Amino acid sequence: MHAPSTSLLKTLRQRFGRVALYGALCLVLSALAMAELLWSHKLDAIDNRVGDALLRWHAQGRVPPEDVVLIDIDQPSLKDPQMFEVAGAWAWPRVIHAELIQALAAQQPRAIVLDLILSPPDRFRPENDAQLAQALAFERAYVPMILMEDSAERATLALAPPAMGIRAGEKADPAARYGIDGPTALPPEAWRTGYINFIKDRDGLGRQTELGRDVQGWWIPHILGRVAEALDLPRPASPRFRLNWYGREFTRIPYAKAYLATQSGDGRLPFDARGKIIIIGATASGLLDFVPTPIDATTPGPFVLATGLANLQGGDWLRTAPPWASPALALLLINGLGLAFVRRVSPTWAASGYLVVAALALTAAAWALGRNVYWMPVSTLALGAGALLALGLLSSRLEMSERRHVQAMFSRFVDPRIVQSLSESAQVAEAEVSASREITVLFSDIRGFTSLSEHRKPEEIVEILNRYFEMQVEVIFRHQGTLDKFIGDAIMAFWGAPMAQPRHAVLAVEAALDMADALQRFASDMARTDPTTAFDIGIGVHTGEAVVGFLGTARRLDYTAIGDTVNLCSRIEGCTKGVARVLVSEATRAQCAGAFEFIDRGAFEVKGREQAVQLFEPRRLPASEGLSAGLAGNQA
């Protein structure tokens, strides 16, 4: 199932290099991240959900300003007996609102914002509309209108009454038309109005509001924009801005309490309206003026207006974070993780680094929110998590490809159990690089092979050699050795590569002794079938520095050791004839101290050496001593 992809990865790695593969993946991931953050925005829902929770947490410590007051048509006001006696059941006559507004205007508030729809006209009591229009003569009183984008009935914007605040821009279309439900109960000169449409995001929640909007070159103001312009409140550079919510309630005066106070003996309001921004709206459940916001799925509409006005007055609406913040974080995460995998950092450390950056980013988002800046990096962090997964998968496949590549190369030379242990990246890299290292080399040669060949058929000789080689190679592999090559009837093996082996000399000598024992059994079997057959071997072992690695061409590679250590080991094997079946050098004996008993066989002159070489015959220690030495070796 995985062979094709692994083979493809191997081909790509060989052609372009490991770093290039990671670079290409990081480039693709970066491009996808930029497309998402700058254009697609498919992950905005993640940011919104986490951002809403953060906003609710942040709002808990925010107290609304005292000079933004809501006169609330709440449920108790609708059920108040005195109010019912005066005004009747809802909807109340507009003269009720007129009388309240007149009482408020007398105290010179900063603004009165009426959040009640004033259409159509009252056909039965037109005098009530006239009295309301008279009350709204207060120059800072504002009434709402509704924009109807899909309405078939459209008004020509050029004909809008000047009081509406609709202005023509430089490129305004004189014939522009738009659906507007205005306060038709009032005369045009009283239409100090702005729209109060609910501004919602794609998921239906209202997180933003606006000062107004451009329609075919005409500026149509939101009621917030009208108030902000009239009162010269601070305004954001962009018409649309994000609301900064309050956890505490605004100052709320029940409508019935406020109105009935104006009808009492002294006609005084139950609060000081001077200098206040007053919103008259409904929160009663039966009037259904509720909208979904991050704070509550049923936020009263007047609360949204109050929040917008309070934000503008305090200049603490939520600013948008710099547009480069999220893309920069995404590029940092993706390319930082890519660099970590290129440098073969442990995936655990890479994941830990990602979590640290994620925690810092979320902390920065909370810190920025306290300074009226909204930045939600969750979708960016999700892209980083995706990059971590993608890079981790590529790393896993590359490591698997490299491991199989190395295992395929070494399976001919090393015991399969050793090959399987070549799993770590550092071991893989070390195994493939030709380098000088300390190893122990073993040479084994058959004695009397020439005379043996003279009395047997070639196919018999091949069969005997194959049986012999299979037996001896099994011994070498059992002792964790690396098979270098067969040279005629000779065997060359070494220890200490491709994997480092601290006790490589001990392993080599143990293998040599076991090879001698195996030869004894093999020779006995041969003698039973042919008593005339003489079969013996000589084994030389030497420890020293040698260059180990792959030697050859692209078509034919051998994993081999070369150098003076190898040459001397071959000469030592040649000295065994008539002396001992196994001889080792002084260097090997020194590294096996305590593991074997060594018999000094004297100094030997060898070709290529000016000084004689001292050689020793290893023998196994008695059982008790061998056990103690073995335990000591294991502890070492």
277 and 247, same structural domain?
Answer: yes
- What pLDDT is stored for residue 409 in this prediction? 54
Q: Which helix (H) or strand (E) holds 93?
A: none
With H, G, I as helix, E, B as strand and everything else as coil, classify residue 379: helix
Cβ-Cβ contacts under 8 Å for 573 (sequence gap 6 or more)? 443, 444, 445, 490, 538, 539, 540, 583
486 and 355, same structural domain?
Answer: no
Show which of 294, 314, 334 is a domain's final residue.
314
Show which of 406, 434, 460 is a domain's final residue.
406
377 and 362, same structural domain?
Answer: yes
Q: What is the DSSP letter of 169?
A: -
Domain count, the chain: 3
479 and 381, same structural domain?
Answer: no
Which of 547, 464, 377 lies closest to 36, judged by CA? 377
User: Does any domain span residue 503?
Assistant: yes
% the chain with pLDDT above 90 = 67
Preceding amide of 91 cis, omega within 30: yes
Q: Where do we find the tokens 């004689």?
A: 612
Q: How confident is the model at residue 536 (pLDDT cuts 50, 70, 90)?
A: confident
203-241: per-residue pLDDT in tens?
999 999 999 999 999 999 999 999 999 999 999 999 999
Looking at the predicted structure, is the pLDDT value of residue 302 above 50?
Answer: yes
Q: What angle do CA 122, 128, 130 make, to 5 degrees?
A: 100
Looking at the predicted structure, is the pLDDT value of residue 92 above 90?
Answer: yes
- What pLDDT is stored for residue 257 in this prediction? 95
User: Does any domain span residue 412?
Assistant: no
Mean pLDDT of 65-80: 96
432 and 384, same structural domain?
Answer: no
Q: How confident is the model at residue 13 (pLDDT cuts 50, 70, 90)?
A: very low
Looking at the predicted structure, is the pLDDT value of residue 187 above 90?
Answer: yes
Looking at the predicted structure, is the pLDDT value of residue 128 above 70?
Answer: yes
252 and 213, same structural domain?
Answer: yes
Q: Where do we find the tokens 């690396």?
A: 482
Q: How confident is the model at residue 410 (pLDDT cuts 50, 70, 90)?
A: low
609 and 534, same structural domain?
Answer: yes
Looking at the predicted structure, is the pLDDT value of residue 201 above 50?
Answer: yes
Pick 288 or 142 by higher pLDDT: 142
Pick 11 or 315 by higher pLDDT: 315
Structural domain containing residue 76: 62-146+185-314
- What pLDDT is stored for residue 298 in this prediction? 94
381 exposed, middle or buried (CB, 10 Å; 0-12, 13-18, 19+)? buried
Pick 442 or 418 by higher pLDDT: 442
User: Does any domain span residue 156?
Assistant: no
User: Does any domain span residue 274?
Assistant: yes
Q: How confident is the model at residue 459 (pLDDT cuts 50, 70, 90)?
A: confident
Which tokens is 235 given?
A: 């305004």
626 and 554, same structural domain?
Answer: yes
User: Does any domain span residue 418?
Assistant: no
CATH number at residue 459: 3.30.70.1230
596 and 512, same structural domain?
Answer: yes
Show which of 314, 338, 371 is a domain's final residue.
314
Q: CA-based Rg of the chain, rounded to a whole angstrom?
A: 46
Q: How confident is the model at residue 146 (pLDDT cuts 50, 70, 90)?
A: very high
266 and 130, same structural domain?
Answer: yes
Pick 557 or 347 by higher pLDDT: 347
- What pLDDT is stored for residue 578 in this prediction? 87
336-360: per-residue pLDDT in tens?
999 999 988 888 999 999 999 999 9
Looking at the predicted structure, is the pLDDT value of residue 86 above 90?
Answer: yes
- CA gap 572, 570 in Å, rounded: 5
- What pLDDT is stored for residue 9 in this prediction? 47
User: Does any domain span residue 155?
Assistant: no
CA quadruple 599, 603, 608, 610: dihedral positive or negative?
positive
Distance, CA of 84 to chain centre: 62
User: Does any domain span residue 157?
Assistant: no
User: Does any domain span residue 47?
Assistant: no
206 and 260, same structural domain?
Answer: yes
Q: Residue by residue, what is the 3-state secondary structure of 605-632?
A: CCCCCCCCEEEEEEECCCHHHHHHHHHH
Looking at the predicted structure, is the pLDDT value of residue 596 above 70?
Answer: yes
Q: How confident is the model at residue 253 (pLDDT cuts 50, 70, 90)?
A: very high
- What pLDDT is stored for residue 408 in this prediction? 58
454 and 330, same structural domain?
Answer: no
